[in-house]
Protein backbone atom coordinates (compact mmCIF):
# COMPACT_ATOMS: atom_id res chain seq x y z
CA UNK A 1 0.00 0.00 0.00
CA UNK A 2 1.27 3.42 -0.86
CA UNK A 3 1.84 6.02 1.77
CA UNK A 4 -1.34 7.85 0.81
CA UNK A 5 -3.50 4.88 1.80
CA UNK A 6 -4.38 6.63 5.03
CA UNK A 7 -6.04 9.41 3.09
CA UNK A 8 -8.66 6.95 1.78
CA UNK A 9 -10.54 7.01 5.10
CA UNK A 10 -12.87 9.73 3.86
CA UNK A 11 -13.73 8.13 0.53
CA UNK A 12 -14.14 4.77 2.28
CA UNK A 13 -16.50 6.17 4.90
CA UNK A 14 -18.55 7.84 2.15
CA UNK A 15 -18.79 4.54 0.21
CA UNK A 16 -17.01 6.29 -2.62
CA UNK A 17 -14.40 3.59 -3.30
CA UNK A 18 -14.85 0.77 -5.79
CA UNK A 19 -15.53 -2.64 -4.19
CA UNK A 20 -11.94 -3.77 -4.82
CA UNK A 21 -10.50 -0.61 -3.35
CA UNK A 22 -12.76 -1.05 -0.33
CA UNK A 23 -11.53 -4.59 0.26
CA UNK A 24 -7.94 -3.44 0.00
CA UNK A 25 -8.58 -0.58 2.31
CA UNK A 26 -10.16 -2.98 4.80
CA UNK A 27 -6.94 -4.96 4.61
CA UNK A 28 -5.16 -1.80 5.56
CA UNK A 29 -7.61 -1.17 8.41
CA UNK A 30 -6.61 -4.49 9.92
CA UNK A 31 -3.18 -3.07 10.65
CA UNK A 32 -3.85 0.61 11.12
CA UNK A 33 -5.53 1.68 14.34
CA UNK A 34 -5.49 5.34 13.46
CA UNK A 35 -7.45 4.71 10.26
CA UNK A 36 -9.92 2.51 12.17
CA UNK A 37 -10.43 5.30 14.63
CA UNK A 38 -10.86 7.87 11.89
CA UNK A 39 -13.33 5.73 9.94
CA UNK A 40 -15.43 5.31 13.09
CA UNK A 41 -15.51 9.05 13.62
CA UNK A 42 -16.52 9.54 10.00
CA UNK A 43 -19.30 6.97 10.30
CA UNK A 44 -20.66 8.91 13.26
CA UNK A 45 -20.33 12.12 11.27
CA UNK A 46 -22.15 10.57 8.32
CA UNK A 47 -24.96 9.47 10.62
CA UNK A 48 -25.37 13.13 11.56
CA UNK A 49 -25.43 14.12 7.89
CA UNK A 50 -28.12 11.50 7.39
CA UNK A 51 -30.11 12.77 10.35
CA UNK A 52 -30.51 16.04 8.47
CA UNK A 53 -32.57 14.29 5.78
CA UNK A 54 -35.31 12.90 8.05
CA UNK A 55 -38.50 12.18 6.19
CA UNK A 56 -41.34 9.96 7.33
CA UNK A 57 -41.80 6.96 5.04
CA UNK A 58 -45.31 6.13 3.75
CA UNK A 59 -47.33 4.68 6.62
CA UNK A 60 -48.03 1.38 4.81
CA UNK A 61 -44.34 0.58 4.75
CA UNK A 62 -44.34 -0.31 8.44
CA UNK A 63 -46.75 -3.23 8.03
CA UNK A 64 -44.87 -4.47 4.98
CA UNK A 65 -41.53 -4.43 6.80
CA UNK A 66 -42.93 -6.10 9.91
CA UNK A 67 -44.58 -8.74 7.77
CA UNK A 68 -41.30 -9.50 5.97
CA UNK A 69 -39.44 -9.52 9.25
CA UNK A 70 -41.86 -12.06 10.68
CA UNK A 71 -40.84 -14.56 8.01
CA UNK A 72 -37.15 -13.63 7.75
CA UNK A 73 -34.66 -15.79 9.51
CA UNK A 74 -32.04 -13.94 11.50
CA UNK A 75 -28.34 -14.59 11.19
CA UNK A 76 -27.13 -16.65 14.09
CA UNK A 77 -24.23 -15.34 16.09
CA UNK A 78 -21.06 -16.80 14.65
CA UNK A 79 -18.89 -19.22 16.57
CA UNK A 80 -16.93 -17.28 19.12
CA UNK A 81 -13.78 -17.24 17.07
CA UNK A 82 -12.26 -18.46 13.90
CA UNK A 83 -9.04 -20.43 14.08
CA UNK A 84 -6.23 -18.24 15.21
CA UNK A 85 -3.06 -18.86 13.28
CA UNK A 86 -0.24 -19.49 15.68
CA UNK A 87 2.53 -19.95 13.19
CA UNK A 88 3.82 -18.07 10.19
CA UNK A 89 1.23 -15.43 9.57
CA UNK A 90 -1.16 -13.70 11.87
CA UNK A 91 -4.49 -12.66 10.46
CA UNK A 92 -5.65 -10.14 12.99
CA UNK A 93 -9.02 -9.54 11.51
CA UNK A 94 -10.05 -13.13 11.38
CA UNK A 95 -11.24 -12.54 14.89
CA UNK A 96 -12.87 -9.23 14.30
CA UNK A 97 -14.41 -7.92 11.17
CA UNK A 98 -17.88 -8.08 9.78
CA UNK A 99 -18.16 -11.49 8.27
CA UNK A 100 -17.01 -13.24 11.41
CA UNK A 101 -19.82 -11.76 13.44
CA UNK A 102 -22.78 -13.56 11.91
CA UNK A 103 -22.93 -16.57 9.73
CA UNK A 104 -26.08 -17.86 8.14
CA UNK A 105 -26.40 -21.59 8.11
CA UNK A 106 -28.76 -22.75 5.47
CA UNK A 107 -29.91 -26.29 5.75
CA UNK A 108 -31.79 -26.43 2.49
CA UNK A 109 -29.75 -25.69 -0.59
CA UNK A 110 -30.25 -22.09 -1.51
CA UNK A 111 -30.37 -20.25 -4.79
CA UNK A 112 -26.62 -19.88 -4.93
CA UNK A 113 -26.21 -23.59 -4.82
CA UNK A 114 -28.78 -24.10 -7.55
CA UNK A 115 -26.78 -21.72 -9.72
CA UNK A 116 -23.75 -23.79 -8.94
CA UNK A 117 -25.69 -26.84 -9.99
CA UNK A 118 -26.10 -25.37 -13.46
CA UNK A 119 -22.44 -24.46 -13.66
CA UNK A 120 -21.54 -27.91 -12.47
CA UNK A 121 -23.05 -29.52 -15.53
CA UNK A 122 -20.46 -27.84 -17.70
CA UNK A 123 -17.47 -28.89 -15.71
CA UNK A 124 -15.29 -31.78 -16.74
CA UNK A 125 -12.80 -32.25 -13.97
CA UNK A 126 -14.31 -33.16 -10.62
CA UNK A 127 -17.79 -32.68 -11.94
CA UNK A 128 -19.18 -35.90 -10.56
CA UNK A 129 -17.78 -35.31 -7.13
CA UNK A 130 -18.94 -31.72 -6.94
CA UNK A 131 -22.42 -32.71 -8.00
CA UNK A 132 -22.33 -35.54 -5.48
CA UNK A 133 -21.44 -33.21 -2.62
CA UNK A 134 -24.09 -30.67 -3.55
CA UNK A 135 -26.78 -33.32 -3.80
CA UNK A 136 -25.62 -35.49 -0.89
CA UNK A 137 -28.40 -36.23 1.60
CA UNK A 138 -26.19 -34.99 4.43
CA UNK A 139 -24.94 -31.92 2.56
CA UNK A 140 -24.62 -28.93 4.86
CA UNK A 141 -24.45 -25.52 3.30
CA UNK A 142 -23.01 -22.45 5.00
CA UNK A 143 -23.34 -19.05 3.42
CA UNK A 144 -22.00 -15.66 4.31
CA UNK A 145 -21.96 -12.21 2.84
CA UNK A 146 -18.45 -11.10 3.72
CA UNK A 147 -19.08 -7.78 2.04
CA UNK A 148 -21.85 -6.02 0.21
CA UNK A 149 -22.61 -7.80 -3.03
CA UNK A 150 -20.36 -10.78 -2.40
CA UNK A 151 -21.76 -14.08 -1.28
CA UNK A 152 -19.86 -17.18 -0.38
CA UNK A 153 -21.23 -20.67 0.04
CA UNK A 154 -19.54 -23.75 1.33
CA UNK A 155 -21.30 -27.09 0.99
CA UNK A 156 -19.85 -30.07 2.76
CA UNK A 157 -20.81 -33.67 3.13
CA UNK A 158 -19.47 -35.61 6.04
CA UNK A 159 -20.07 -39.01 4.51
CA UNK A 160 -18.25 -38.06 1.30
CA UNK A 161 -15.55 -36.15 3.17
CA UNK A 162 -15.59 -33.44 0.54
CA UNK A 163 -16.34 -29.77 0.53
CA UNK A 164 -17.37 -27.46 -2.28
CA UNK A 165 -16.60 -23.75 -2.16
CA UNK A 166 -18.25 -21.20 -4.34
CA UNK A 167 -18.81 -17.47 -4.39
CA UNK A 168 -20.10 -14.73 -6.54
CA UNK A 169 -19.74 -10.99 -6.74
CA UNK A 170 -15.94 -10.99 -6.67
CA UNK A 171 -14.19 -8.21 -8.55
CA UNK A 172 -11.88 -9.03 -11.38
CA UNK A 173 -8.21 -9.01 -10.51
CA UNK A 174 -5.38 -7.99 -12.78
CA UNK A 175 -2.18 -10.01 -12.60
CA UNK A 176 -3.32 -11.47 -9.29
CA UNK A 177 -5.44 -14.41 -8.29
CA UNK A 178 -7.82 -15.22 -5.51
CA UNK A 179 -6.57 -18.25 -3.63
CA UNK A 180 -8.66 -20.48 -1.42
CA UNK A 181 -7.22 -21.77 1.85
CA UNK A 182 -8.52 -24.24 4.36
CA UNK A 183 -7.79 -23.30 7.93
CA UNK A 184 -7.17 -25.87 10.65
CA UNK A 185 -7.93 -25.59 14.32
CA UNK A 186 -4.21 -25.53 15.11
CA UNK A 187 -3.87 -22.31 13.15
CA UNK A 188 -2.18 -23.76 10.10
CA UNK A 189 -3.55 -23.26 6.61
CA UNK A 190 -3.25 -25.18 3.38
CA UNK A 191 -4.09 -24.27 -0.16
CA UNK A 192 -7.17 -25.48 -1.98
CA UNK A 193 -6.10 -23.83 -5.20
CA UNK A 194 -6.61 -20.66 -7.13
CA UNK A 195 -10.15 -19.53 -7.85
CA UNK A 196 -11.35 -19.12 -11.35
CA UNK A 197 -13.61 -16.09 -11.57
CA UNK A 198 -15.62 -15.32 -14.68
CA UNK A 199 -16.53 -11.87 -15.95
CA UNK A 200 -19.74 -11.82 -13.98
CA UNK A 201 -17.81 -12.37 -10.77
CA UNK A 202 -18.96 -15.95 -10.49
CA UNK A 203 -16.44 -18.34 -8.99
CA UNK A 204 -16.34 -21.83 -10.45
CA UNK A 205 -16.99 -24.27 -7.63
CA UNK A 206 -13.83 -25.67 -6.08
CA UNK A 207 -13.75 -29.14 -4.64
CA UNK A 208 -11.57 -29.74 -1.62
CA UNK A 209 -10.94 -32.64 0.68
CA UNK A 210 -10.62 -31.11 4.09
CA UNK A 211 -8.37 -33.02 6.46
CA UNK A 212 -8.87 -33.61 10.15
CA UNK A 213 -9.08 -30.40 12.10
CA UNK A 214 -10.22 -28.20 9.25
CA UNK A 215 -12.39 -25.46 10.69
CA UNK A 216 -12.79 -22.86 8.06
CA UNK A 217 -12.01 -21.43 4.68
CA UNK A 218 -10.31 -18.17 3.77
CA UNK A 219 -9.57 -16.35 0.54
CA UNK A 220 -6.55 -14.16 -0.08
CA UNK A 221 -5.31 -12.17 -3.05
CA UNK A 222 -2.04 -13.69 -4.25
CA UNK A 223 0.38 -13.18 -7.12
CA UNK A 224 -0.81 -14.80 -10.32
CA UNK A 225 -0.80 -18.59 -10.01
CA UNK A 226 -1.04 -18.60 -6.24
CA UNK A 227 1.41 -18.98 -3.36
CA UNK A 228 2.56 -21.80 -1.10
CA UNK A 229 1.46 -19.89 1.94
CA UNK A 230 -0.77 -16.81 2.15
CA UNK A 231 1.12 -13.59 1.56
CA UNK A 232 -1.72 -11.21 2.37
CA UNK A 233 -4.58 -10.92 4.80
CA UNK A 234 -7.78 -12.69 3.79
CA UNK A 235 -10.43 -10.77 1.91
CA UNK A 236 -12.92 -13.20 3.39
CA UNK A 237 -12.98 -16.06 5.84
CA UNK A 238 -15.68 -18.21 7.33
CA UNK A 239 -16.04 -21.26 9.50
CA UNK A 240 -17.18 -24.53 7.97
CA UNK A 241 -19.97 -26.40 9.66
CA UNK A 242 -20.09 -30.15 9.96
Partner 1 sequence: MDRAAAVPHDAAHDADPPGLEELLGLVARGDEQAFGRVYDLISPTVYGLVRRILRDPAQSEEVTQEVLVEVWRSACRYDARRGSPQAWVMTLAHRRAVDRVRSEQASSDREARAAAADTQRPYDEVAEEATDRLERERVRRCLDTLTELQEQSVRLAFYGGYSYREVAGLLSAPLGTIKTRMRDGLIRLRDCLGVDW
Contact residues: Zn ion, CB under 5 A: 6, 32, 35
Cα-trace Rg, the chain: 19
Helix and strand totals (H; E) in the chain: 7, 10
Answer for which of 1, 31, 64, 159 binds partner 1 (CB under 8 A) is 64
Answer for which of 3, 33, 34, 49 binds partner 1 (CB under 8 A) is 49
**Which segment (55-63, 80-88, 111-119, 202-210) binds partner 1 by CB under 8 A?**
55-63
The least distance separating partner 1 from the CB of residue 29, rounded to whole angstroms, comes to 11
Which strands sit side by side in the sheet containing 236-239, from one edge to the other?
189-194, 176-184, 214-223, 236-239
Q: Give the integer Cα–Cα distance in Å for 90 and 239.
A: 17
The Cα diameter of the chain in Å comes to: 57
Using CB under 8 A as the binding rule, whether residue 92 contacts partner 1 is answered as no
Please give the span between the terminal C-alpha atoms of the chain, in angstroms, as a whole number: 38
Using CB under 8 A as the binding rule, whether residue 4 contacts partner 1 is answered as yes
Please identify, using beta-carbon distances, which residue of 67 and 186 lies nearer to partner 1.
Answer: 67
Residues that bind partner 1 (CB under 8 A): 4, 7-11, 13-18, 37-38, 40-58, 61-62, 64-66, 68-70, 72-77, 98, 101-102, 148-149
Amino acid sequence: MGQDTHTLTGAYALNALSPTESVRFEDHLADCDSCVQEVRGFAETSARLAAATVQAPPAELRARVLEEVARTRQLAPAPERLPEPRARRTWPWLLGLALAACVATIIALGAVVLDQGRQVDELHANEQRIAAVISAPDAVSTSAEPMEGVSVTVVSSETLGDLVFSAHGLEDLHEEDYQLWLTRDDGSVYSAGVLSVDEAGFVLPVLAEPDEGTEGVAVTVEPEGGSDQPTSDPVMAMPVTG
